[in-house]
Chains A and B, each alone.
Chain A
């Protein structure tokens, strides 16, 4: 690729850096999975692993919206827009992860049971209403602190809607741990497809069936 072609690609795809961050998160988890620590992980370590996992799983499905937001920003604010938006988005997932990691050991619920719950959630109309609401992003002010604040708010709102949609599968991931790479890959594809495929509610039954299968495997 020539320098000019590379420049044009980065001009048109400012979300590539965010995609790179997700790829790096996958690589980090892969390396970690090859050299797992023995014993119980401290809470902060588990939370750090959760943040990396949330970045790997949740950023890919958001890239199209990230691109649109960045290209709709003032040129010099493109990276700032992405940083504030994804910062808000991942803050919500981090808060969710902290609660989940604190509560699950107390409740003693297994990943299999939570995958069964995710199967049931997949078949409810509320789940799909939440999926469709994912894209509700207001246009941002162009400049200054107002733009920063609106951008962070947009990320927080996006995160809340995404949690509403994907809470069940991500609870299962919290129980399974961030080194369950196979389950992670499967659930990443599911959440990205639900967000990006046209009329994705058509996927509800096959996805529910796959989740039920995963639940059975996890429970055996």
Chain B
């Protein structure tokens, strides 16, 4: 039994209102950390810099270290949360208003935005401008969020659903253009963001991780940008939920962490609560119990398709490279409206043709060369072969994932020490849908259509349209949309 229980912040809210003692303690600890000097490793600013540092500021082995678009995404962020939680708990010891019980047992709450019943809205403690004493500014509040979310709107259900990620069968795959990246991200070396040409977000990083970042931050908000996201106190609740979902994924049959030493032995550098440097490896954080915490029991989202079997086949992808069978031949710009591209397909001519099976074992949609100056704070649902007469009841069947843009401002930044230049890349495994459409005689081997539809926050109660929906959306350029067979 772990000593510390990370609880659902909405359960805390239901138990004691916005200011449950655990939530209020967090707010007060954040206030203390925000008052510390930025060069203090236990300060709020430094803890955020551990994730990312804007260009022009000094770097060392402790800051600008977060791992994204790689199989280190989950272990690095778990380690990050672990040391942050200890820093917060140490800060609580300085606060007289916090009870001894809370001080000794405080653990990071998680924001389970996928539990329904309004949980996809920001918890009230993050919206209140003042602490319950009515005199102290609430450190959990920031104006730098999406206007709709900040005023009580909810993240779109497609943006918060972990069902598709939880259905992934494998943690990681060797990266190869066009191919699957797995639950936790592709096999890469140390990859802060875009060091590897093969970098791409894993299924959990795609959604809900990236989608929630953009959805909460909106255009220009703290959560939307790589270097500012941890400055929003809700970042830590969001990542606790991502960390919980990793633990939930592992509870399913056949799911396991990578056995490779290249993953297990990767070291991560942090500071402990006294500001002393510490180093941990992935293998030291795979078991939350070893870190003396566990998650409060929560309902696991229904798996994709509702069958409990998971979307991904249990078999790994075939041992042959995917081959491109069709792609767009000109860039596409997304500016907040639905867009559709038609992709002419050819018969496979390489390994997929020579495979024993008459149909490809895997089919993927790749969205490549995604560029933009700023995260628009808006995700796009991606549909394949969406019928013209699709409605809410049938469109979901054609939904293959979401396109989000967390980190897009870094993707082509050549002023910091990252190679950059590849743009973002998303891979969606559409095997299940392609097989179903084939079985129904509705898969056209000569053409596929890919639709991008913006998914905006749901408006706050009493409002008809999400604030900002009519405003100009920062553009994002899609270099190419391709279909691969494997």
Contact = CB atoms under 8 A, between A and B. Distances in A.
B298 interface: no
B78 to A, nearest CB: 22
Given A75-B323, A139-B480, A12 B369 contact: no
A64 B199 CA distance: 13
B346 A74 contact: yes
A71 B177 contact: yes
B157 interface: no
Interface in B387-437: 412, 414-415, 417-422
Interface string A57-94: 00000001100100111111000000000000000000
A136 B190 CA distance: 20
A143 to B, nearest CB: 7
Interface residues of B, number: 39
B327 interface: yes
A147 B480 CA distance: 12
A7 B419 CA distance: 32
B351 A11 contact: yes
Interface stretch (A48-56, A99-107, A125-133): A125-133
B343 to A, nearest CB: 9
B412 A136 contact: yes
Interface string A185-215: 0000000000000111110000000000000
Nearest to A14: B321
B349 interface: yes
A16 to B, nearest CB: 13
Contacts of B328: 141
B417 A201 contact: yes
Interface in B193-247: 195, 197-198
Contact of B414 (A132, A140, A147): A132
Contacts of A128: 417
A219 interface: no
A75 B350 CA distance: 6
A129 B327 contact: no
B324 A75 contact: yes
A129 B413 CA distance: 9
Contacts of B479: 138-139
Interface in B427-465: none
Contacts of A140: 480
A72 B177 contact: yes
A73 B197 contact: no
A133 B420 CA distance: 7
Given A65-B197, A139-B369, A74 B349 contact: yes
A199 B349 CA distance: 38
A143 B328 CA distance: 10
Contacts of A8: 319-320
Contacts of B324: 72-75, 142
A72 B190 contact: no
A143 B415 CA distance: 34
B185 interface: no
A17 interface: no
B372 interface: no
A72 B368 contact: yes
B124 interface: no
Contacts of A72: 177-178, 324, 368, 482
A71 B190 CA distance: 23
A146 interface: yes
Interface in A15-62: none
Contacts of A146: 329
Nearest to A137: B421
Contacts of B198: 68
A142 B329 contact: yes
B275 interface: no
A140 B329 CA distance: 7
Contacts of A64: 197
B57 interface: no
Contacts of B197: 64-65, 68, 135
A129 B189 CA distance: 22
A202 B59 CA distance: 12
A72 B482 CA distance: 9
Given A73-B324, A75-B348, 11 more contacts: A11-B321, A11-B350, A68-B198, A74-B324, A132-B417, A135-B197, A136-B421, A138-B369, A140-B480, A198-B191, A202-B417
Interface of A: 8, 11-12, 64-65, 68, 71-76, 128-129, 131-143, 146-147, 198-202
Query: Which 4 A-B pairs give the minimum distances between C-beta atoms?
Result: A75-B350, A139-B480, A141-B329, A136-B421
Interface of B: 176-178, 189-191, 195, 197-198, 319-321, 323-330, 346, 348-351, 368-369, 412, 414-415, 417-422, 479-480, 482
10 contacts: A11-B351, A12-B321, A72-B178, A74-B349, A137-B421, A139-B479, A139-B480, A139-B482, A198-B190, A198-B419
